[in-house]
A and B are shown apart, each in its own frame.
Chain A
Amino acid sequence: KAGVTQTPRYLIKTRGQQVTLSCSPISGHRSVSWYQQTPGQGLQFLFEYFSETQRNKGNFPGRFSGRQFSNSRSEMNVSTLELGDSALYLCASSLQGSSYNEQFFGPGTRLTVL
């Protein structure tokens, strides 16, 4: 099976812009989670989707949003970008959710906000 893929791998944006990141889970996986990884804060949970429904959301401002499509692919959007949004954004997929099954991570999207 192909692993989790994320596009694009690298992004450079300026403050105030918005960005959309995409994640394709492993075939058959219905749960997709998103994490923000920064040197200072480590890995922080953004949100989790299962069958197009958001089941949990982390402590991030409303500028961070996501969605999941019927084929389980997921996107996350960050609007009105701030310098502090520069990070590696990782998505992870699992069969039913992180509490129950192994999560497989994608390679991440490195976002730089100038």
Chain B
Amino acid sequence: GENVEQHPSTLSVQEGDSAVIKCTYSDSASNYFPWYKQELGKRPQLIIDIRSNVGEKKDQRIAVTLNKTAKHFSLHITETQPEDSAVYFCAASMDSSYKLIFGSGTRLLVRP
């Protein structure tokens, strides 16, 4: 069945360093890959997404890369700040499935 694996489960970095979170999806028909940030006690919020016709997308300090052949996609956060501390979820979806399959989440801690 459809599955998204996410690593690492926890990540601790020093403020200013970069953070990378990796996901692997199982269904090659997946073509939409959003990333959500969930702060403690808050709702998940979309921070960036990518479609399968694009290999990389950037938005200020955040970037996502996609390798369709390997079925991998990654979130890159540069110049991390304490407010980046949260749980990050990757997800995958495909046309006409109308559902997101989420990874298990990565708890990112940015140490001041």
Binding site for B on A (CB under 8 A): 31, 33, 35, 42-45, 48, 50, 55-56, 58, 90, 97-100, 102-108
With both chains docked as a complex, state the minimum distance between the C-beta of A38 and any C-beta of chain B, in angstroms: 11
* Contact among B42, B89, B96, B105 with A99 in the assembled complex (CB-CB below 8 Å): B96
Binding site for A on B (CB under 8 A): 31-32, 34, 36, 42-46, 49, 89, 91, 93-105
* Contact among B42, B46, B97 with A103 in the assembled complex (CB-CB below 8 Å): B46
Q: Are A42 and B89 in contact (CB under 8 A)?
A: yes
Shortest 7 CB-CB contacts between residues of A and residues of B: A43-B102, A105-B43, A97-B98, A48-B98, A45-B99, A99-B93, A55-B98
Q: Which residue of A lies closest to B89 (CB)?
A: A43
A residues in contact with B104, CB < 8 Å: 42
A residues in contact with B46, CB < 8 Å: 102-104
Contact A33-B99, Cβ < 8 Å, known A90-B43, A105-B44, A108-B43: yes
Given A98-B100, A100-B32, A102-B34, 14 more pairs with CB closer than 8 A: A42-B89, A42-B105, A43-B105, A90-B43, A97-B98, A99-B94, A99-B97, A99-B99, A102-B49, A103-B34, A103-B100, A107-B42, A107-B43, A108-B43
How many Å lie between the Cα of A35 and that of B32 in the bound state? 18
